[in-house]
Amino acid sequence: MKSLFTRACALALTLAAAASAQAQGPAARFTVQEMLKIQRVADPQLSPDGRWVAYQVTVPDVPANRNRTQLFVVSAAGGEPKQLTTGNSPVTSPRWSPDGGRIAFTTGGQVWTMKPDGSDRKQLTNISTGASDPVWSPDGRLLAFASEVYPDCADDACNRRRDEEAEKNPVKPHVTARLFARHWTDWKGPKRSHVFVVSAEGGAARDLTPGDWDAPPFSVGDPTDYAFSPDSKELAFARNTDQLEATSTNGDIFVVAVTGGEARRLTGDNKGADRSPRYSPDGRYIAYRSQATPMFESDRWRLMLYDRQANRTREVLPKYDAYVDDFTFAPDGKSVYFVSGERGEQPVFNASLADGSVRKLVGGYNGDVQVSKDSRLLVFTRSTAGAPAEIYTARMDGVVPLNGSANQAAPLTHTNDAFMKQFALRPAEELTWTGAAGTKVSGWLVRPPYFDAKRRYPLVVLIHGGPQGAWNNSWGYRWNPQVYAGAGYVAFLPNPRGSTGYGQQFTNEISGDWGGKAYTDIMNGVAQVVAMPFVDKQNVAAAGASYGGYMVEWILGHNDDPRVKFKTLVAHAGVFNLESMYGATEELWFPEWEFKGTPWDAPELYAKWSPHRFAKNFKTPTLVTHGELDFRVPLDQGLQLFTYLQRQGVESKLVVFPDEGHWILKPGNSLFWHTTVLDWLDSHLKQKGS
């Protein structure tokens, strides 16, 4: 009851603020151009003494079609931030030394350090293959980092020579004798990711994970997959040694001496993913995240605890029906702090290692949690669907932090406050309805600024990807509902079967059933929304990417629901032909899990759920967009869809970005993409003169 009351109060305050802003006069219109002016705050790092927070801020440069990232520091007690770095090269990954005397960071593809005031900068690495993701050893003498190297090279001179030879050679074929030759946006070639250590004073780096395997394995936005032991003598890391990587989500935890030598595998019995090792402060345990089901990349992430003395492993939270995302040990080693999805939010939790009891500490959508050495201060990022990320703090000792109340989050940074005040953005409202088989389904509704209940607004249904993903009450830059609301649309964001944050069974029920229950969940939700008096049910569109693009294409062949008719559609990077997609994608574990085998051994589900088989029903005008470097859902999927539409005589347009992958990330490209999408929607959903 308390959480519902708190949410209701927050909604009331936000609505009151919007009403107050309206009373003061018209606000600026929130457009994609305005969204691309927002400074993106990320990666807060609390100093060892708990007095300072270093973080990075990214500013989109639309004319240059690039992002510019620099580092800042702010007092944990509040105040004006200080910018530490400048220049054209992005500066990322600030990491405090254990004594707080220096901050490591990456720029120009190398690891550097500087004093906390930004002075005395020193380059630590000079490795030809580049360095990323620095991690300090607890004694402050070493830093670990990752680099892509030739596994058969014994030193950096060999790597440098091989790269120079490849660069000078005018013939540049991609040659491979195994699958997983390319991944997401890159041809992998013969290189492998390895973890190195280098002295904090600089010098030659030492490869701790030699061999023809990736360490750590590839991940998108996951926690760092290596960590030092408290005595700084050992490094734990994740590595996948399966021979057929394209069909494997496996990854095991290994440990190796920082002086080098043979690594020891700790988790070989589990064939699912084992990632994110973290040592307890006393060195007794290694905690890590684990998935039990091989090939299922969206299985529940469990929190595991390996006892280094007893050589035993146990699950800490066996009854916890949600992902354990980024986590960190409490300073006393008796519990862990972590974030986890919960109905569109991502609260901060604390879990006891002794009995597995879980306490919710801070609600809202949070990430990047840091805890002070006295456990009294939490530092983290927070955003909502109406406000971009800023850094927040919460006191755990009853002390009121800044302008907040005990155990409640209070903003530490205000990077975008003044800029965002000019827009009367409305909060996301949670809706519930009955989906397939009587299951309760939820989603979000975002209304236009200065919403008038007497008007009727066109509706845009945004469908998330994954399919194991979710629309959350958080800020984003690829499918931000405020951009559509600012353009005069009601935005509806359903979380159908397959969505995360509603229990693992709800997530599981999309596999093998892509166009089944999820489609019913979405359509039932849309039917409820179009019945609202302020929605123009004659002007409804659907848009989405990846699985969201797939569902748009499924709707394209099934746009015959008597309750709602989609007038136009937008598909980005959508899976169109399941059988040909299998032959061109790289992560083969994904289709083989989702459709229960290969197309030749288990063709039934590939045929049943493939949108291209329903092309005879295509009649709805459709915008198709894709990235040419998308190896996850290859370009041929978008080309096939466009060909089918054109041959059917359906109004359609194709937009391909030669320098983008699965997502449209560059600022100039993002501006063009959003403008194209909104122009397409306006031309089909808005009457002339409206």
> What are the distances in angstroms from CA 608 to CA 416, 436, 579, 613?
48, 18, 11, 8
Taking the C-alpha atoms of residue 195 and residue 165, their distance in angstroms, rounded to an integer, is 24
> pLDDT tens across 256-281, in order?
999 999 999 999 899 999 999 999 99
Contacts of 168 (CB under 8 A, 6+ apart): none
Rg (CA), the chain: 25
Sheet holding 82-83, edge to edge: 40-46, 52-61, 66-75, 82-83
Cis peptide before 216 (omega within 30 of 0): yes
Please state which CATH class domain 429-685 belongs to. Answer: alpha beta
Give the pLDDT band of residue 27 (cuts 50, 70, 90).
confident
> What are the distances in angstroms from CA 472 to CA 312, 398, 429, 462, 481?
37, 29, 11, 12, 11
Total Cβ atoms within 10 A of residue 53:
24
| Residue 328: exposure state from Cβ atoms within 10 A (0-12, 13-18, ≥19) | middle
Taking the C-alpha atoms of residue 111 and residue 126, their distance in angstroms, rounded to an integer, is 8
Judge contact between 55 and 71, C-beta under 8 A: yes
Kindly tell me the number of DSSP H helices and DSSP E strands found in the chain: 13, 38
> pLDDT tens across 161-200, in order?
999 999 999 999 999 888 888 888 888 889 999 999 999 9
Check residue 482 and give its pLDDT.
98
Taking the C-alpha atoms of residue 314 and residue 303, their distance in angstroms, rounded to an integer, is 9
Question: Distance from CA of residue 664 to its chain's centroid?
Answer: 14
| DSSP state at residue 477 | S
Judge contact between 546 and 612, C-beta under 8 A: no
Taking the C-alpha atoms of residue 98 and residue 141, their distance in angstroms, rounded to an integer, is 10
Taking the C-alpha atoms of residue 128 and residue 150, their distance in angstroms, rounded to an integer, is 11
Check residue 220 and give its pLDDT.
61
Check residue 5 and give its pLDDT.
32
Give the pLDDT band of residue 50 (cuts 50, 70, 90).
very high
Say whether pLDDT at 402 is over 60.
no
Q: Which of 137-151, 336-350, 396-410, 658-672 has the lowest mean pLDDT?
A: 396-410
Judge contact between 329 and 281, C-beta under 8 A: yes
DSSP helix/strand/coil, 518: helix
> pLDDT tens across 474-485, in order?
999 999 999 999
> pLDDT tens across 109-165, in order?
999 999 999 999 999 999 999 999 999 999 999 999 999 999 999 999 999 999 999
φ, ψ (nearest 5 deg) of residue 520: -65, -45
- Rounded mean pLDDT of the chain? 93
Say whether pLDDT at 326 is over 50.
yes
Task: Please name the residue that has the structure tokens 């997502």.
Answer: 663
> What are the distances in angstroms from CA 478 to CA 88, 250, 545, 586?
24, 30, 10, 23
What percent of the chain clears pLDDT 90, i.e. is strictly above it?
89
Tokens of residue 611, six digits: 């949108």
- Write the DSSP string, 132-161: EEEEE-TTSSEEEEEEEE-TT-SSHHHHHH
Say whether pLDDT at 234 is over 60.
yes
| Amino acid symbol at 217 | P
CA proximity to 357, closest of 335, 329, 330: 335
CA proximity to 345, closest of 7, 1, 2: 7
Query: HSE (CB half, 13 Å, CA atoms) of 353?
Result: 23
Say whether pLDDT at 571 is over 50.
yes
Instruction: Record the pTM.
Output: 0.93
Say whether pLDDT at 407 is over 80.
no
Total Cβ atoms within 10 A of residue 210:
18
Give the pLDDT band of residue 26 (cuts 50, 70, 90).
low
Question: For the residues 556-581, what does the mean pLDDT come to?
Answer: 97
Judge contact between 321 and 300, C-beta under 8 A: yes
> What are the distances in angstroms from CA 77 to CA 377, 378, 380?
10, 12, 14
Contacts of 346 (CB under 8 A, 6+ apart): 325, 339, 340, 364, 365, 366, 367, 472, 474
Q: Which of 60-74, 339-353, 403-417 has the lowest mean pLDDT?
A: 403-417
Say whether pLDDT at 12 is over 50.
no
What percent of the chain clears pLDDT 70, i.e. is strictly above it?
94
CA proximity to 122, closest of 109, 132, 110: 110
Question: For the residues 8-26, what does the mean pLDDT come to?
Answer: 42
Question: For the residues 464-470, what does the mean pLDDT come to?
Answer: 97
> What are the distances in angstroms from CA 554 to CA 81, 635, 647, 667?
49, 18, 18, 30
Check residue 221 and give its pLDDT.
59
> pLDDT tens across 279-293, in order?
999 999 999 999 999
Question: For the residues 448-477, what does the mean pLDDT come to?
Answer: 97
Show me where the domains of the chain are located: 39-123, 429-685
